[in-house]
Amino acid sequence: MIEEREYDIVIVGSGAGGGTVAQELGPLARAGRRVLVVEQGPRLLDHEFTGRELEMANALYADGGGFLTADGTMTLAFGRAYGGSTVVYTGTSLIAPERVISHWHVPGLTHDDLERRSRKFMSQNNAHELGPELINDNNRLFFEGCRKSGWVARQFPLNISRCRGSGLCNLGCPNAAKLGTNRIQLPNAEASGVEVVTRAEALEVGDRHVTVRVSARRERETGLPSEWQPGMYRVRAHVIVLAGGALGTSALILRSPLARAITHVGSRFTCHPAVILVAEHEHAITNDVGHPQSYYLDLAASERFLLEACMYSPFVTAKSLAGFGAAHSQFMRAFPRLQMILVLACDRATPKNRVTVDAAGRPVVHYTLSPQTIDALVNGTRAAAQIFFAAGALRMNAPMAVPPVIERRDAYRARVLIHSRHFLRGQVSVSAAHLMGGCAMGQPHSAVTDSYGRVHGVPWLRVADSSLFPDSLEANPYLTVMALADRVAEGIRADAGALLSNAATVGRTPSGAYPAATRN
Amino acid sequence: MDLAPVRSILRAIATTVLPETASQDERDWLEMEALIARTVSSRGPQNPEQLLGFLRLVQALPIARYGRRFTVLDARRRVAFLRALERSPLLRLRRGFSGVRSLIVLAYYTRVDVAESIGYRAVPEGWAARGGTVSTIPLAPTLWVEP
């Protein structure tokens, strides 16, 4: 049995995109419009952010953080909770590079506009640089290693307030100090009268309705029960905003009959493939305390990679280290002496890399690392080696070297030892957390949406997440997602008169079916 | 998912990948297997069979090279065999080994006692638990760079 519910606007997803749209539609809610956010994950109470790795990974990430690409060689990590991936990111707040926005060539989208909106959310989210007393050794070593290597590392603005330095950002901040949408935008939205339903999975989107399945909270499961009774719902709305992330939004459209009316969904998927590198120092350093990511080195324009200081939990560290046995164990037992660097390759959209769905409608990511992306990972690893040893490291674990441990005495040969011929798919641990593309902005003949997230040919449907990106951003995407979502909300407010006054039937054939999309 | 039929194979791989697991007691082993079984089962209906199949393959493949199954190889040959899988020209074998390795380190390093034993001390109290902000690396005068 399906229960019917009616709203004016439904937003699917509560992360950087959905949470922002929800807040920015607050004026409509205060004016009496019914706005609903549908979130698949749970809503956690403050005390439920325990920082315990297994518990939090299972509670806050899709597939416990272990979602694999179709060929099983890359792990994709994305959040699934009230607040989406903003609950599990580290809060690094960067404005989109101007050269990337220019390269995107999206009609109507300017860098000036994105920058203005991004700064609005940086202010709202208290994004700022930490004072020197709060920079831990792991980050200082990164800065020093860069400086001695002739590079200038820059500091990340972080959207935090009263950070206690737990270092547990990627497992959900246990101190309510990280200001994701679960702390700022969603509470603002709810205070305006926007409703949020959690543990609610959008199964299908149809003509101005979303089919939603609400699940019961299992015994001992983290998080509150859903605000609705478990069961099936058909939620009707004049406007539907999809903000379930690059995978969630693309898959939702692809498994719906609506897919016949929309072309190019799932294409142009990019993700900044990354490797986590580990080096060992002689003495203990502060690494698992303090904010894990204070500095970065941006070589995207010239070298196609970014380097970030980072720190991870024991399991993620162990998984990232190449090799096994005694040498692997030796690195792990040196945990208090470990420095880590994250290498992110700036990939480019290719026809092969895309999101599809399987027979059950679940997202499937087809992704092949291009030779250029592999080269970026190799060159990034070489640069990281230079930084590690300049900072005084005794040895580093280099997944693209054979054998994978490079001692300090061989540091001068790192560029030779680390080589693309040693990169083996399925052997080097590659992961990605910046999932982009699938509903790219652009012209109707080659893209899914316009620069305000309006789906071409379907005026009641909008997209407000990283699936809008027509190519990789070459920077952390969350702030740009918020800026784009701000545009989507502005567009809805501007179109509200036409969209919300009548339930006009648009786009259907006389039989009620969706017309097949016109291809140029 | 029942790992009992492949228990000896899984433990032989685990002690090769993580030598310290050799000192685990039976309760720790059973908890490791339970976590692996839960994790694999939660990732899709085809995954348990894939894992069981791969473990049986690991047991059988060494016969061609060494004339013996994996569980009766000595430590040196076990290492050599797993290294060959790790860098096999066949993606399926590389991926299979990487997957099993990930499951073993997941089950071992997410244990609170193990994390503590390697010196991992991240707690919600952060700096306060260390007696305040502590660093051993002085900051160079050029730390603050104007954009």
C-beta separation of B75 from B25 below 8 A: no
Residue A514 has pLDDT above 60, yes or no: no
Query: B95: helix, coil or strand?
Result: helix
Confidence of residue B132 (pLDDT cuts 50, 70, 90): confident
Contact A137 B94 (CB under 8 A): no
Which residue of B105, B119, B145 is in closest CB contact with A318?
B105
Q: Which residues of B touch A165 (CB under 8 A)?
A: 126-127, 133
Give the pLDDT confidence score for residue B140 in this predicted structure: 55
List the structure tokens of A162. 């009263």
Shortest Cα distance, chain A CAs vs residue B26, angstroms: 21
Q: State the DSSP code for B126.
A: G
Q: A107: exposed, middle or buried (C-beta count within 10 Å: 0-12, 13-18, 19+)?
A: exposed
Query: How does pLDDT run across A139-178, given as a tens digit for each residue?
Result: 999 999 999 999 999 999 999 999 999 999 999 999 999 9
Q: Which residues of B touch A166 (CB under 8 A)?
A: 122-126
Q: How many CA atoms lie within 13 A of B125 on its CB side?
A: 6
Shortest Cα distance, chain B CAs vs residue A508, angstroms: 36
Shortest Cα distance, chain A CAs vs residue B57, angstroms: 18
Confidence of residue B139 (pLDDT cuts 50, 70, 90): low
Contact A164 B133 (CB under 8 A): no
Q: Which residues of B touch A49 (CB under 8 A)?
A: 124
Which run of H or of E encompasses A379? helix A371-390
Residue A510 has pLDDT above 80, yes or no: no
Which residue of A49, A332, A425 is in closest CB contact with B91?
A425
Query: How does pLDDT run across A205-241, given as a tens digit for each residue?
Result: 999 999 999 999 999 999 999 999 999 999 999 999 9
Residue B147 has pLDDT above 80, yes or no: no
Q: Which residues of B touch A137 (CB under 8 A)?
A: 135-137
Q: Which amino acid is at B116?
A: E
C-beta separation of A186 from A22 below 8 A: yes
Query: How does pLDDT run across A491-509, given as a tens digit for each residue?
Result: 999 999 888 875 443 333 3
Q: A280: exposed, middle or buried (C-beta count within 10 Å: 0-12, 13-18, 19+)?
A: buried
Q: B31: exposed, middle or buried (C-beta count within 10 Å: 0-12, 13-18, 19+)?
A: middle
Contact A425 B79 (CB under 8 A): no
Q: Span A516-520, mean pLDDT?
A: 35
**Which phi and psi angles does A163 have, rounded to 5°?**
-65, 135
**Which phi and psi angles does A6 have, rounded to 5°?**
-130, 135
Query: A462: helix, coil or strand?
Result: strand
Which residue of A51, A336, A427 is in closest CB contact with B123?
A51
Query: How does pLDDT run across A402-456, given as a tens digit for each residue?
Result: 889 999 999 999 999 999 999 999 999 999 999 999 999 999 999 999 999 999 9
Contact B124 A53 (CB under 8 A): no
Confidence of residue B135 (pLDDT cuts 50, 70, 90): confident
ipTM here: 0.93
Query: How does pLDDT run across A70-105, given as a tens digit for each residue?
Result: 999 999 999 999 999 999 999 999 999 999 999 999
C-beta separation of A273 from A375 below 8 A: no
Q: Which residues of B touch A286 (CB under 8 A)?
A: 130, 134-136
Contact A286 B91 (CB under 8 A): no
Query: How does pLDDT run across A236-277, given as a tens digit for each residue?
Result: 999 999 999 999 999 999 999 999 999 999 999 999 999 999
Q: Which residue has the tokens 């960067």?
A: A94
Contact A163 B140 (CB under 8 A): no
Q: B17: exposed, middle or buried (C-beta count within 10 Å: 0-12, 13-18, 19+)?
A: buried
> Taking the C-alpha atoms of B14, B15, B19 and B24 in order, what is their torsion angle to the nearest 10 degrees?
90
Q: Which residues of B touch A427 (CB under 8 A)?
A: 86-87, 94, 98
Picking from B46, B81, B87, B105 by the largest number of A CB atoms within 10 A of its own CB, the best residue to mutate is B105
Q: Looking at chain B, how many residues does it have? A: 147
- SS3 per-residue string spanning A282-297: CCCCCCCCCCCCCEEE
Query: What is the rounded average pLDDT for all residues in chain A?
Result: 94
Residue A368 has pLDDT above 80, yes or no: yes
pLDDT > 70: what percent of chain B? 93
* Spatial separation of the C-alpha atoms in residues B40 and B18, rounded to whole Å: 20
Contact B135 A134 (CB under 8 A): no
* Stated pTM of the model: 0.94
